[in-house]
Amino acid sequence: MDPIQTVHVKLMASDLLSSTVWPSKPPCFTRKGRPISRAETVGVVVSHERKDKFLRFLVDDGSGCIPCILWLNHYCLTSHGGSSDLDLMAEMTLKQSEIVQLGELVRVRGRITIYRGMLQITVRDVVVERDPNAEVLHWLDCIRLAKQCYDLLPAVTLPRSVLNPPQDGSDR
């Protein structure tokens, strides 16, 4: 298993939106041949639409707009005698939904999902960035990580026959 598949990969919108989708259950996403399942991005909220069950918003990082969805229906689950964990999750989700406002610089982390053929981030957490340099620092992090980590091919495990070829000249 590729280690970057299990972490929030710092991506710019152009990288995320150009990821390859492999039709499987659940869908698998790859960036330059490496599987990814979670992403982190920083950008300005340029659109938001709140419904009873979700908050849908767009984050613009300068290279494109990433659709994000924050599910609010955790709160509905708690009304039927849910656990205290669900109460806490519902409370956190409602607080996060209130901070997503037009023009805010936000950091979003979550699962990469597909809806109606479009990639989106199903939000795990969203925070408002108070440092105006956060977006530029995120760009620099994305470039550095791409060169030093993400764009490198994963280690290939070679068969034993390739590592230790027969010494007697036979092909076996």
Confidence of residue 162 (pLDDT cuts 50, 70, 90): very low
- Quick one: CA torsion of 90, 92, 93, 97, rounded to 10 degrees? 140
- 61 or 4, greater pLDDT: 61
Q: Look at residue 42 in the predicted model and tell me its pLDDT.
A: 98
Show the domains of the chain with their CATH numbers. Answer: 3-163 (2.40.50.140)
Whole-prediction pTM: 0.77
**Percent of the chain scoring above 70 in pLDDT:** 80
The model's pLDDT over 84-103, given as tens digits with 9 standing for 90+, comes to: 676 777 777 777 888 899 99
Q: Look at residue 77 in the predicted model and tell me its pLDDT.
A: 45
Strand ranges for 81-128 from DSSP E: 105-115, 118-128
